Structure 1
Amino acid sequence: MKIFLTGGRGMVGKNVLLHERANRHEFMAPTRDELDLRDGAAVLKVIKAFQPDIIVHAAGKVGGIEANRADPWGFMIENVSIGMNVVSAARQAGVPRLLNLASSCIYPANHSGHLTEEMLLTGELEPTNEAYAIAKIAVLKLCTYARDAISGIEYKSFIPCNIFGPFDNFDPVRAHLLPAIIRKIHEAKTGGENTVEIWGDGTARREFMYAGDLADAIIEGCERYEELPPLMNVGTGVDFSIQEYYEAARRVIGWNGSFQYDLTRPAGMKRKVVDVSRQAEWDWKPCISLDQGIENTYKAFLEGL
């Protein structure tokens, strides 16, 4: 297939391009310098010229709690803009298939159980990443409207859980939870520190999946698109406490210190784990364990220093 991939220089995009089956297909994955996705006319021109069989939309402005709180305007405007441009260009160019990547942060914040696809737009969003979530919902719904309005258009969306892995962002301000943990514990180990700070009390629960597994789901989704439901969670279906993620990173990295808790800092949703029933019916599941994923990610972090 001819696959147009946005975000090809991001963590997910790079893992897709390095997937063992990626060479079966012809990818076009322009860099930001080559194509600014905020420029709708330019996006349409490139997509029309390439004439892809499918578009995978994995681009976006991403970051952890602190980055989202500091710049909600930027997270909203950029993610809405690029998503609208890509989906609109796909429709105008007559591209029949588009696989959009949303995020599990689009689900209601105050739910203690597994998050099902039917729960979309049934409750308030988590305030610390509300702008990003609203942008992701807008693009997901645009895919739904295009599919409902035009015969032959089959635009679908994955809703991945939190992702980590090689090519992640380890910046202490912008990083998501797991890469931030890896960096903090590495610096504590190399700096001879005996303690590492955890935001909150460590009891909030999160689900993380290795980026290579999400890449596998994306390749599988492109190859088995007809079998794919219009909207599907992609994840492990298993969550751990923030404390347990710190302990796993400590174990893999080999640091023997202890943890301190800053209860004045935001910890986000109390629990966030997706229901993977549709994913199981589609007959796919991730295969990389948490410790193996952290080990691979830590190795990539060290290689990038």
Structure 2
Amino acid sequence: MRILLTGGSGMVGRNLQEHPAADKFEILAPRSQELDLLDRKAVSSYMEEKKPDLVIHAAGRVGGIQANMADPVGFLVDNSLMGIHVINEAYKAGVEKCINLASSCMYPRSATNPLSEDQILTGELEPTNEGYALAKITATRLSQYISKVDSTRKYVTLVPCNLYGKYDKFDPAHSHMIPAVIRKIHEAKMAGLSAVDIWGDGEARREFMFVADLASCVFKVIEQMRADVPLLMNVGLGKDHTINEYYRAVADVIGFQGEFEHDLTKPVGMRQKLIDSTRVGSVGWQAKTSLREGIEQTYQYFLKDVINE
């Protein structure tokens, strides 16, 4: 099977290519210099030339609260265009199977936790990442529409919880929470600081999954992409932790002995975002990496491949 993987140089894409199951497939992972996903004609030509059997859409402009708030236009426009171009051009080129990777930020800010797939588009989105969420909702709906109007197509959307792991971004201005916290606490330890700041009161809850577990889920779905596989599935752990608990877990791995100080003037986003992963259990998948194990592996990657760059 020939797979076109978008976002192959990103965290999810690189972990997909390094997964043992990747050896079973011919995976095309063009870099942006080879295929500009913002160029519809280029995407169309690539689909027609390469004729993939399946598309995995993992590309996207991503970042944490700071990045989303700084450039909501870019996050909305770029991610919307990428999703529409990849998914719709795959449809027009006759690609029968597609896995679209979405985001749990698509859920309404006031939705009851755990978040189930049928709650999407039932309420107001979280303002701090609304542009990105709208783009992901568009790609998700497009995938569903295609599967609805053409029974020969299976365009599945996976909605992972927050991710972290190898090949993550550790720049505090552009990264998600766990890699940002790893860098912050590592630098605090190296500088001999006695305290580290936490945005807000630290009681907001988040669900973070090691990215290699998402890769295993994607290949599990590919193996079982049959008529009864749900078209929309959350992919997560089924449990969450407070921001304070994540800081303490990272500090424990790194060996930071200082204190934590809360900056109550900073935004914290949604108070809780725990997804219901019951539906993905139908394909026989479950996340296996513990929080400590995932943080340890991510910190070792940071030490070896990030700070020595």
Report TM bin, short chain: over 0.9
Mapped partners of 2:303, 2:111: distance in 1? 37
What is aligned with 1:3? 3
Aligned to 1:122: 122
2:103 aligns with 103
SS of corresponding position for 2:20: coil
Unaligned runs of 5+ in 2: none
Q: Percent identity?
A: 49
CA RMSD of aligned residues (A): 0.9
Q: Which residue of 1 aligns with 2:296?
A: 295
1:186 aligns with: 186
TM-score where L is the length of structure 1? 0.98
- Supply the AA of the counterpart residue of 1:64: G
Deviates most, 268-277 or 148-157: 148-157
- The amino acid that maps onto 2:291 is L
Confirm whether residue 240 of structure 1 aligns to residue 245 of structure 2.
no
Task: Show the counterpart of 2:161.
Answer: 161
SS at match of 1:225: coil
Equivalent residue number for residue 84 of structure 2: 84
1:52-107 CA-to-partner distances (Å, cap 9, x unmatched) read 11100000000000000000000000000111000111011000001000100000
Contact kept in structure 2, 1:112 and 1:272, CA below 8 Å: no
Q: Tell me the distance in 1 between the aligned counterparts of 2:160 and 2:148.
A: 23
Amino acid at match of 2:56: V
Deviation at 1:112, TM superposition (A): 4.5
Aligned to 1:56: 56
Q: Where does structure 1 lack aligned partners over 5 or more consecutive residues?
A: none
Question: Which residue is 2:255 aligned to?
Answer: 254
- Structure 1 runs (4+) deviating above 6 angstroms are none
Distance 1:122 1:151 in 2: 26
In 1, the alpha carbon distance for the partners of 2:191 and 2:135 equals 40
Taking the TM superposition and a 5 Å limit, the aligned residue runs for 1:123-272 are: 123-226=123-226, 227-272=228-273
Kept after mapping to 2: 8 A contact 1:66/1:173: yes
In the aligned structure 2, how far is the partner of 1:125 from the partner of 1:108?
A: 5
Paired with 1:228 and 1:297, the residues of 2 have a C-alpha distance of 32
Instruction: Judge conservation of contact 1:14–1:167 (CA < 8 Å) in 2.
Output: yes
Distance in 2 (CA, whole Å) between partners of 1:80 and 1:248 is 35
| Residue 23 (structure 1) aligns with | 23
How far does residue 46 in structure 1 lie from its aligned partner after superposition? 1.0
1:273 aligned partner: 274
| TM-superposed deviation, 1:280 | 1.9
Output the TM-score relative to the length of structure 2.
0.97
**2:280 & 2:130 partners in 1: Cα distance?**
26
For residue 46 of structure 2, give the secondary structure of its aligned residue in structure 1.
helix
